[in-house]
């Protein structure tokens, strides 16, 4: 793309336009680098909406592809620049614009890091629940663009439930602000939530108004060791049906516990087949009542062990370990692929059992499963002891089987990671061709030239 | 042997999760993915291992623009040893010639005699006064530590332990007050101190330059001297010297090197002094000292699990001394050895967040074990003193 860099440097300060091969390489992928990389023609780091608008106007006029990017932690290739063009790194738009305690809302730029936002609202006694496990680095813009969620989903829902309004730059450079500062609206088509989860294919999200809750006064962590997977599944159902709604309830297999024990003292016994890591929140009395109920249910079911962690610092080590499982297992393996199939809550035991049956037939890769049991969002993961074409083939085949299984149980191909390019084919399976055609027409209405994040969501040429 | 080929598997462990964005001081300033451990690992592999991309000026900049602070490795769920890989990559690219010959000669001499002294020291003082050296660099002390303390410093009664004291370059010529406090506090607590003769620099500056030969040269002088000491422990006041002896010196030697067993013996005995004292406990109760201080954690600290909290715990023994915690005590200050001289603006940016955090505490005394942090922070904290934690303890004892 001749003259691109020169043109872009007229629109934003030259040090924020990068075209060296090393920089283009650094922006070639997200955490799915091993599946596919792209090569952008330029990386641009805008600092405000005006710059984004000018950049899109230029890209629209010259039909240059644009791929927005947050922290690049995605697990489905959403920000991989498949058709070259411009990667828009939004990290420099990282200001928290306001925290409105009386309206329980906050205005943020797209590049704000989730954990920083958590901290900032907490200082005012407020709470923003979505907590994908990359929260220490991932951006709110990326969260909105993928409808990210995390363990809090069971009680508090996903990012989409907190988006009240957005500022979006459309592909032609015009700026719109669907939604606003109210938590409900019946004003026509809900564009706010159409952009939420649009993965950068309709425009660039530059700002968001997010709904906040009051910070729960207290927390307590519990770890339940179950004899079997069925027992763990049944415990989850019983706990929820019994009226206790934990803030988080994570399903962990034995394999994950072995890795987590690096962080936990005293280490957990590893004779259980399944574990439930639970966080209770609320007032101290509420927590005590919830804990009593859970203890009662678990005892009645005859689980192997229940550990209630009173000390908050000690409890934090469990959650740190939980968020680091993927990386820790990777320290033992050569490569990992993380999926996020979600199934109806009552089908979890069946899903897990089938997955384990599949796992036992594998010889070149290891199939493990953990997940946010409370809302059925499971994470089947494929680990490679060695990387070679046999292993790749076996992995690909088993991923397809896992996704088919999830769909057959009434689930979805993606609970929280998004589609990107990695799951494009699976989206066809889930939605069917009529819905896919409808999506394409919606896309065309927003992005007639197809410059926004091309190659994502669905298979091209179909 | 800090050879890049030995790190192929380690590099492959990087899953590109990007969690290093949370703690990389350079990334937090630049906001550019290229300057992040994830991309550094990927580029080093693509350029130096696979040869997919050529070695360019920009690639060298990506290699150089790393503090070797180890924050990314600590954050990394897979524990990728990024600092070693970057050092090995620098070694591969520069072959020990990252600096021009004049500077290399100066550095070698500096390391051989542990700091600026003699002619160099005098010239350094003059240059400092004339404003020819970076203002961030503390001026050399009038009399180096080694001229003040030598040999064996015995306790009054029977000693409960004997330690060898490794005196780093900075303590030797910039901050002999630290060295004095180390000796005084140890002896006051019934621990005999031996200062072995023939020590040279720990080798860290050479490691940062990827000059493996010079790291080995230092090791060949230090290791025999330290290993020959009949002591219970080897202490250092500098967290970076400690890091070198704990894990880097051994790795810098070839696998079959006859010196390696002795380097391992040194590694097993090396302690940072506050960590050591906190471990063995104080025998003398410190009198009260009404002082409010804050603590900046040096980046090079994860070579022992207890080092993070050692100074806090040790100084907690001083009645009336009050620690005011920083909001981010573990955030890098930007010094990075001599990094601040190579990347002035960047280091300045990293430091400004640290300074704001320090000022917020209102504490008049800032403690940190790393002499580079101390010197770099001091120049922008005119109204506060910056010193080593052991100095505060020595003050409490009135030593």
User: Each residue of A54-90: pLDDT tens digit?
Assistant: 999 999 999 999 999 999 999 999 999 999 999 999 9
Q: Tell me: pLDDT of A229 over 90.
A: no
In CATH, what is the architecture of A4-91? 2-Layer Sandwich (3.30)
Q: Which two tokens stand for residue A362?
A: 């594998």
In CATH, what is the architecture of B285-397? 3-Layer(aba) Sandwich (3.40)
Q: Tell me: pLDDT of B49 over 60.
A: yes
* Closest residue on chain B to A91 (Cα): B31
User: What pLDDT score does B355 carry?
Assistant: 97
Size of interface A-B (CB pairs under 8 A): 96
Cα dihedral across residues B46, B8, B334, A94: positive or negative: positive
Is there a contact between A327 and B19 if contact means CB atoms under 8 Å apart? yes
Fold of B145-278: Rossmann fold (3.40.50)
Is there a contact between A22 and B56 if contact means CB atoms under 8 Å apart? yes
Q: Tell me: pLDDT of A253 over 90.
A: no
- Residues A295, A198 contacting (CB under 8 angstroms): no
Considering only CB atoms, B13 lies closest to which of A30, A325, A330, namely A330
- What CATH class has A216-330? alpha beta
Give the tens place of pLDDT for each residue, A182-197: 988 899 999 999 999 9
pLDDT bin (cut points 50, 70, 90) of residue A333 is confident
Q: Does A347 touch chain B (CB under 8 A)?
A: no
How far is residue B17's CA from residue A74's CA, in Å, rounded to a whole number? Answer: 8
Q: In what order do the strands lie in the sheet with A42-44?
A: A17-18, A42-44, A86-89, A66-69
**Torsion angle of the four alpha carbons B157, B162, B168, B172, in this order, in degrees rounded to the nearest 10:** 20
User: What pLDDT score does B132 carry?
Assistant: 58
User: What pLDDT score does B199 carry?
Assistant: 96
Give the tens place of pLDDT for each residue, B56-80: 999 999 999 999 999 999 999 888 9
Chain A CB contacts of B53 under 8 Å are 21-22, 25
Is there a contact between A327 and B62 if contact means CB atoms under 8 Å apart? no
Domain extents in chain A: 4-91, 94-214, 216-330
Q: Which of B214, B186, B4 is nearest to B96 (CA)?
A: B214
Sorted by sequence, the CB contacts under 8 Å of residue A221 that are 6+ apart come out as A277, A278, A279, A280, A308, A309, A315, A318, A319
Chain B CB contacts of A23 under 8 Å are 32-34, 58
Q: In what order do the strands lie in the sheet with A96-100?
A: A96-100, A105-109, A204-211, A163-169, A175-176
Q: Tell me: pLDDT of A11 over 90.
A: yes
User: What pLDDT score does A462 carry?
Assistant: 46
Exposure class string for A373-402: b at 16+ Cβ within 10 A, else e: bbbbbbbbbbbbeebeeebbebbeebbebb
- CB count, 10 Å around CB of A160? 17
Tell me the nearest-neighbour CA distance from A122 into chain B, angstroms: 15
Domain extents in chain B: 4-94, 145-278, 285-397
E strand or H helix at A297, and its extent? Answer: helix A284-301
Q: Tell me: pLDDT of B376 over 90.
A: yes
Q: Tell me: pLDDT of B26 over 60.
A: yes
Q: Lowest mean pLDDT: which of A57-71, A166-180, A447-461?
A: A447-461
Q: Which two tokens stand for residue B301?
A: 């600290």
In CATH, what is the architecture of A94-214? 2-Layer Sandwich (3.30)
Span B76-102, average pLDDT? 93
pLDDT bin (cut points 50, 70, 90) of residue B2 is confident
* Closest residue on chain B to A22 (Cα): B59
User: What pLDDT score does A256 carry?
Assistant: 85
pLDDT bin (cut points 50, 70, 90) of residue A176 is very high
């Amino acid at each position: 793309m001749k003259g691109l860099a020169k043109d872009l440097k007229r629109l934003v300060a030259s040090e924020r336009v990068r075209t060296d091969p090393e920089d283009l390489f650094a922006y070639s992928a997200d955490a799915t680098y091993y599946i596919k990389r792209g090569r952008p023609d330029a990386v641009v780091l805008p600092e405000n909406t005006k710059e984004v608008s000018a950049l899109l106007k230029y890209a629209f006029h010259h039909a240059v592809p644009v791929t927005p990017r947050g922290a690049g932690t995605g697990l489905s290739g959403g920000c991989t620049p498949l058709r070259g063009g411009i990667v828009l790194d939004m990290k420099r738009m990282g200001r928290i614009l306001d925290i409105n305690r009386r309206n329980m809302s906050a205005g943020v730029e797209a590049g704000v890091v989730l954990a920083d936002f958590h901290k900032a609202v907490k200082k005012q006694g407020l709470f923003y629940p979505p907590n994908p496990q990359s929260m220490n680095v991932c951006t709110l813009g990326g969260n909105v663009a993928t409808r990210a969620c995390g363990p809090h989903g069971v009680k508090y829902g996903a990012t989409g439930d907190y988006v009240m309004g957005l500022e979006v730059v459309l592909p032609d450079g015009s700026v719109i602000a669907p939604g606003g500062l109210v938590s409900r609206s019946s004003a026509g088509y809900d564009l706010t939530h159409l952009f939420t989860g649009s993965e950068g294919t309709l425009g660039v999200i530059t700002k968001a108004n997010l709904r906040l809750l009051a910070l729960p006064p207290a927390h307590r962590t519990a770890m339940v060791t179950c004899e079997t997977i069925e027992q763990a599944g049944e415990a989850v159902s019983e706990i929820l049906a019994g009226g206790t709604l934990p803030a988080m309830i994570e399903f962990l297999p034995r394999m994950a516990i072995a890795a987590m024990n690096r962080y936990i003292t005293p280490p957990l016994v590893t004779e259980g087949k399944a574990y439930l890591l639970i966080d209770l929140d609320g007032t101290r009395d509420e927590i005590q009542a919830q804990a009593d109920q859970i203890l009662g249910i678990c005892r009645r079911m005859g689980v192997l062990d229940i550990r209630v962690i009173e000390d908050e610092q000690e409890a934090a080590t469990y959650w740190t370990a939980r968020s680091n499982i993927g990386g820790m297992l990777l320290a033992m393996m050569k490569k990992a692929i993380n999926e996020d199939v979600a199934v109806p809550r009552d089908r979890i035991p069946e899903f897990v059992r089938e997955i384990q049956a599949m796992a036992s037939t594998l010889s070149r890769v290891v199939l493990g499963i953990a997940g946010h049991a409370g809302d059925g969002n499971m994470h089947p993961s494929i680990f490679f002891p060695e990387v070679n074409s046999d292993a790749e083939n076996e992995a690909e085949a088993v991923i397809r089987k896992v996704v088919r299984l999830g769909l057959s149980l009434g689930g979805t191909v993606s609970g929280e990671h998004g589609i990107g390019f990695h799951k494009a084919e699976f989206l066809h399976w889930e939605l069917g061709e009529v819905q896919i055609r409808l999506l394409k027409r919606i896309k065309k209405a927003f992005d007639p030239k197809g410059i926004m994040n091309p190659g994502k969501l669905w298979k091209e040429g179909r | 042997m800090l050879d890049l080929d030995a790190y192929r598997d380690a590099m492959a462990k990087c899953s590109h999760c990007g969690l290093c964005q949370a703690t990389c001081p350079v990334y937090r300033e630049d906001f550019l993915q290229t300057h992040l451990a994830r991309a550094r690992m990927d580029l080093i592999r693509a350029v130096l291992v696979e040869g997919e991309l050529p070695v360019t000026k920009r690639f060298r900049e990506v290699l150089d623009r790393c503090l070797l602070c180890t924050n990314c490795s600590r954050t990394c769920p897979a524990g990728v040893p990024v600092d070693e890989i970057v050092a090995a990559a620098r070694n591969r690219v520069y072959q020990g010639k990252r600096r021009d010959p004049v500077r290399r000669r100066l550095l070698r001499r500096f390391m051989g005699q542990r700091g600026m002294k003699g002619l160099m020291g005098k010239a350094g003082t003059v240059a400092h006064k004339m404003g020819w050296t970076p203002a961030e660099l503390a001026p050399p002390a009038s009399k180096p530590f080694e001229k003040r303390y030598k040999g064996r410093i015995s306790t009054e009664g029977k000693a409960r332990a004997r330690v060898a004291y490794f005196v780093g370059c900075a303590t030797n010529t910039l901050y002999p007050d630290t060295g004095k406090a180390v000796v005084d506090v140890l002896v006051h607590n019934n621990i005999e101190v031996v200062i072995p003769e023939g020590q040279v620099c720990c080798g860290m500056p050479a490691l940062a330059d990827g000059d493996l030969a010079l790291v080995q040269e230092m090791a060949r002088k230090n290791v025999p001297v330290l290993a020959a000491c009949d002591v219970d422990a080897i202490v250092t006041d500098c967290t970076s010297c400690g890091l070198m002896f704990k894990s880097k010196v051994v790795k810098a030697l070839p696998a079959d090197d006859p010196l390696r067993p002795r380097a391992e013996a040194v590694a097993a005995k090396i302690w940072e002094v506050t960590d050591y004292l906190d471990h063995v406990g104080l025998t003398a109760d410190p009198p009260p000292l009404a002082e409010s201080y804050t603590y900046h954690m040096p980046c090079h600290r994860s070579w022992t699990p207890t080092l993070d909290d050692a100074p806090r715990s040790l100084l907690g023994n001083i009645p009336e001394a009050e620690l005011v915690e920083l909001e981010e005590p573990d955030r890098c200050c930007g010094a990075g050895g001599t990094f601040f001289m190579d990347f002035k603006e960047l280091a300045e940016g990293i430091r400004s967040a640290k300074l704001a955090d320090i000022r917020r505490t209102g504490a008049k005394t800032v403690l940190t074990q790393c002499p580079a942090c101390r010197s770099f922070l001091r120049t922008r904290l005119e109204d506060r003193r910056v010193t080593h934690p052991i100095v505060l303890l020595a003050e409490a004892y009135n030593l």
